[in-house]
Amino acid sequence: PEAADLRALARHLYEAYLKYFPLTKAKARAILSGKTGDNVPFVIHDMKSLMEGEQFINCKQIPVPEHHQQQHIKLLYAVELRFFQSCQSRSAEAVREVTEFAKSIPGFVDLDLNDQVTLLKYGVIEVLIIMMSPLMNKDGTLISYGQIFMTREFLKSLRKPFCQMMEPKFEFSVKFNTLELDDSDMALFLAVIILSGDRPGLLNVKPIEQLQETVLHSLELQLKLNHPDSLQLFAKLLQKMTDLRQIVTDHVHLIQLLKKTEIDMCLHPLLQEIMKDLY
């Protein structure tokens, strides 16, 4: 009966994952391997294709500040910053999706509300980075719900510090993807990350640890059944959580640097809330 409960939990979290996350790994891998027929993504590989591709990205027009009015500067400046703003909008939307997923974890909404906030604040960027992995390969990443493929080289060619933002995520993702998790494994792993009892400022750690332990058991069983030949997969996956924390710390420091150096950059209020006093 205990194993049956753990399987039911895995099914429940997989269903919630499918409900709240529009682009699954299965769909992303199909797009990346060209198995979607005529439905191929638009490729952004330079500034020209970025401008052409903007119609696919839900870009909000942002005003160009006075001191960038000179025509050619204005054009490049606006494109780069507009792209960054659209990334922020998508990230904020993704935070909302992750929040809904978190609420579907059995017992999560019964936790102290302040602890729910803390778990999301510290967990959500880690979750978003894990969710980015299936969209990436060594050459680039899908964006805009799989409608666009943006090359890694193009991202590396952006001006500093924009060019430094994605490279660590590519390095992590290429390694993470070798574990070959599927969407049902991912759902459990994301729940484990969210239910981390060691986040700073938690008021009542015990119920969080109890919830996480159950999900961990469910994940361990899931991996044994779903990947019988992959030795130590559970242990390898748990080790990834340490790498993730470093990536998030570096990411937040980069955003803080951007805030200082890019005088015209405005950070989305939700992302600002999450990153304020994070690390």
Q: Which residues bind other proteins (CB under 8 A)?
A: 89, 92-93, 95-96, 99-100, 103, 109, 113-114, 116-117, 120-121, 268-270, 273-274, 276
Nearer to other proteins, 118 or 218 (CB): 118
H or E stretch covering 42: strand 42-44
| Shortest Å, Cβ 55 to other proteins | 21
Specify the residue, 194 or 237, whose C-beta has the smaller distance to other proteins: 194
**CB of 120 vs other proteins, minimal distance in Å:** 6
Nearer to other proteins, 82 or 121 (CB): 121
Q: Reading across the β-sheet that carries 42-44, which strands appear in turn?
A: 42-44, 148-151, 140-143, 136-137
Cβ 97 to other proteins shortest distance, Å:
10
Nearest to 130 by CA among 186, 183, 200: 186
Give which of 136, 256, 137, 119 is closest to 190, Cα–Cα. 119
CB atoms near residue 212 (< 10 Å): 19
Distance CA 45, CA 118 (A): 38
Distance, in Å, from the CA atom of 168 to the CA atom of 220, rounded to the nearest integer, reads: 28
Instruction: Specify the residue, 89 or 164, whose C-beta has the smaller distance to other proteins.
Output: 89
Nearest distance in Å: CB 4, other proteins = 29
